[in-house]
């Protein structure tokens, strides 16, 4: 049976997005069109691939059996494009990058700008989520993480270490200076909402011996803005400090953290030349931008 590749592509987007709306956004199609194409594929296969539930479109048993074959067709299509395009050709098409929101906000915009200068036909999409990106569901082509995953068919590459310090607004610290750790008691603490810390590497406050935050958010960008508003003290990425020149370090000789970024990809993508090239370019620009921002801190 000869199947339409576009229908297979739509099936994959619905399976990964768990719904017509999310698939339509990524495919730039209206949800009704996506639904019709899924129905056409189901008719051709004489099988029900999805069941609609309160959580969205979920794969049926038949859909789950069909998924690896559709993914194999996707890999073959990408490999064919690589073979026809060649190593030296300009890279093109959509690439989705998942990252924690601090990285997404303060590192990736400049990284993506440099990638687009070199390859203007790329369509780069940044997913900033306060949780781990699910590559198995193809939420992204690759992801930046703060700890290496321990399960799944994934390849992991360490990108770089990065540093963090306790910081606060200079006006706040002028009113209530911090010379010794005991002085911290005079200040509110800003940090992650404890039950929303999605990776143990983000549990900064516990490591430096501070209590639960008085002001909490699951977003690094929100935490930084709280500090810029003078509401308290909190742990800040060095690479974010150029965006907040009003913040100064507090007890830097005592409170200094080091963490690492990792680039994570689906194992099958190792066979796709274009994605390997994109990942290599991304990693180089990422390290350059991180080093530049930390030098400015």
- Summary mean pLDDT of the chain: 86
Residue 37 reports pLDDT greater than 80: yes
**pTM exceeds 0.85, yes or no:** no
| Tens-digit pLDDT profile for residues 197-232 | 888 888 889 888 887 899 999 999 999 999 999 999
Q: Which range is least confidently modeled, 10-24, 73-87, 97-111, 228-242?
A: 73-87
Residue whose entry in the numeric block shows the structure tokens 């990252």: 99
Which tokens belong to 212? Answer: 């639960």
Query: CB neighbours (10 Å) of residue 136?
Result: 12
pLDDT confidence of residue 84: 46
pLDDT confidence of residue 213: 93
In terms of phi and psi (left: phi > 0; alpha: psi -120 to 50; beta: otherwise), the region of 124 is beta
Residue 283 reports pLDDT greater than 70: yes
**Domains of the chain: residue spans and CATH:** 5-85 (1.10.10.10), 92-159+260-296 (3.40.190.10), 161-259 (3.40.190.10)
Residue 270 reports pLDDT greater than 70: no
Q: Which range is least confidently modeled, 17-21, 193-197, 241-245, 257-261?
A: 17-21
pLDDT confidence of residue 19: 81
pLDDT confidence of residue 58: 86
What percentage of residues in the chain have a pLDDT greater than 90? 47
Mean pLDDT of the 161-185 span: 96
H/E stretch holding 4: none
pLDDT confidence of residue 273: 78
pLDDT confidence of residue 136: 60
| Tens-digit pLDDT profile for residues 41-88 | 888 888 999 988 776 788 899 888 888 888 777 766 665 554 444 444
pLDDT interval class at 140 (50, 70, 90): confident
Residue whose entry in the numeric block shows the structure tokens 């935050």: 213
Round to whole Å and give the CA distance between 195 and 197: 6
pLDDT confidence of residue 209: 84
DSSP classification of residue 182: G
């Amino acid at each position: 049976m000869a199947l339409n590749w576009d229908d297979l592509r739509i099936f994959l987007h619905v399976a990964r997005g768990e719904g017509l709306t999310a698939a339509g956004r990524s495919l730039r199609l209206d949800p009704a069109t996506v639904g019709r194409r899924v129905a056409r594929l189901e008719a051709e296969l004489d099988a029900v691939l999805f069941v609609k539930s309160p959580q969205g479109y979920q794969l049926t048993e038949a859909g789950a059996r069909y998924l690896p074959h559709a993914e194999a067709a996707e890999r073959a299509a990408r490999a064919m494009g690589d073979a026809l395009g060649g190593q030296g050709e300009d890279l093109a098409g959509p690439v989705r990058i998942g990252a924690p929101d601090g990285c997404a906000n303060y590192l990736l915009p400049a990284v993506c700008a440099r990638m687009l200068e070199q390859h203007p036909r790329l369509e780069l999409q940044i997913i900033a989520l306060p949780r781990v990106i699910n590559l198995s569901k193809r939420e992204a082509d690759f992801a930046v993480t703060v700890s290496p995953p321990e399960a799944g068919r994934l390849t992991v590459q360490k990108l770089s270490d990065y540093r963090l310090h306790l910081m606060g607004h200079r006006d706040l610290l002028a009113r209530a200076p911090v010379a010794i750790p005991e002085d911290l008691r005079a200040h509110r603490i800003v940090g992650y909402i404890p039950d929303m810390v999605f990776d143990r590497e983000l549990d900064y406050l516990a490591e430096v011996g501070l209590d639960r935050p008085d002001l909490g958010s699951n977003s690094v960008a929100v935490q930084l803005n709280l500090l810029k508003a003078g509401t308290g003290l909190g742990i800040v990425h060095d690479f974010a400090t150029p965006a907040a020149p009003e913040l100064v370090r507090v007890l830097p000789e005592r409170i200094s953290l080091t963490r690492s970024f990792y680039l994570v990809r689906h194992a099958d993508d190792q066979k796709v030349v274009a994605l390997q090239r994109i990942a290599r370019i991304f990693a180089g620009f990422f390290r350059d931008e991180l080093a530049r921002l930390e030098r400015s801190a």
